[in-house]
Amino acid sequence: MSHLDTPTESPDAVPRSLLRIQEVAAALGLTARTIRYYEELGLLTPAARSSGDYRLYDDDDVERLRFIKGLRDEAGFSLTEISQMLEDEAARARNRDRFRATSDAAERRAIIDDALARVDRQVASLRAKADRLAAMIDDAEGRRGHLLGHLAELDAGREPTPHEHPRRSGAPAAPRTRSPR
């Protein structure tokens, strides 16, 4: 229909490759609205604004957005959780600065203890999710193996060997109860 309105690259090294919202959105598979919403939630702030108040994003912004999208899509975190993680990350940076600004051992210990507690909390939360997923995965792979076994039997043209189901452990595989439908 129309050519993409990529900001014509002036050869002089301007701030270097600042993208407008729609370009970023297209590149990441998001919408402009979504990006503005994330900004509204405090998840990021564009690197700059044009004289006409256009939002301008740099590579770090794009990276940050990609990170957010990953957490949301693949890992299934809520934007609130993601916000906490980013805030935690910021807190870490601040702590690092505070740490380097003092040489009082007690103070330093306090800072580290605090940081350690935060990290432990995070790891525990992540591990809970990961364990669930791991259990589900090898449950699924168990079924996969079972199916492959049947295929092999068919290929061998044998009688189907009625064999034991290896009763998985871990997360309770989807309990069979009467469900509607």
Q: Which residues contact 136 (CB under 8 A, 6 or more apart)?
A: 171
The interface with DNA within residues 9-28 (CB under 7 A) comprises 20-23
Residues within window 116-135 making contact with DNA, judged by CB under 7 A? none
Q: Which is nearer to a second copy, 32 or 71 (CB)?
A: 71
> How many helical (H) and strand (E) elements, i.e. helices and strands, does the chain have?
5, 3
Write down the least CB distance from residue 61 to DNA, Å.
Answer: 12
- Between residue 63 and residue 92, which ones bind DNA under the rule CB under 7 A? 72, 78-80
Site mask for a second copy (CB under 8 A), range 41-70, x = bound: -xxxx-x------------xx-xx-xx--x
Count of residues engaged in binding a second copy, rule: CB under 8 A: 70
**Residue 143 interacts with, from DNA, a second copy, none (CB under 5-8 Å by kind):** a second copy
Q: Which of 13, 16, 51, 100 forms a contact with DNA (CB under 7 A)?
A: 51
What is the Cα 168 distance to its own chain's centre? 29
Buried b (16+ CB within 10 A) or exposed e, 161-179: eeeeeeeeeeeeeeeeeee
Distance of alpha carbon 97 from its chain centroid, rounded?
A: 26
Q: What DSSP letter does each residue of 7-73 carry, written as one string?
A: ----SS--S---EEHHHHHHHHT--HHHHHHHHHTTS---SEE-TT--EEE-HHHHHHHHHHHHHHH
Nearest to 25 by CA among 11, 10, 52, 46: 46
Check residue 90 for interaction with a second copy (CB under 8 A).
yes
Which residues would be at the binding site for DNA (CB under 7 A)?
A: 1-2, 4-5, 7-8, 20-23, 31-34, 36-37, 41, 50-55, 72, 78-80
Which residues would be at the binding site for a second copy (CB under 8 A)?
A: 42-45, 47, 60-61, 63-64, 66-67, 70-71, 74-78, 85-87, 89-90, 92-93, 99, 103, 105, 108-109, 112, 115-116, 119-120, 122-123, 126-134, 136-137, 140-141, 143-144, 147-148, 150-151, 154, 157, 160, 171-181
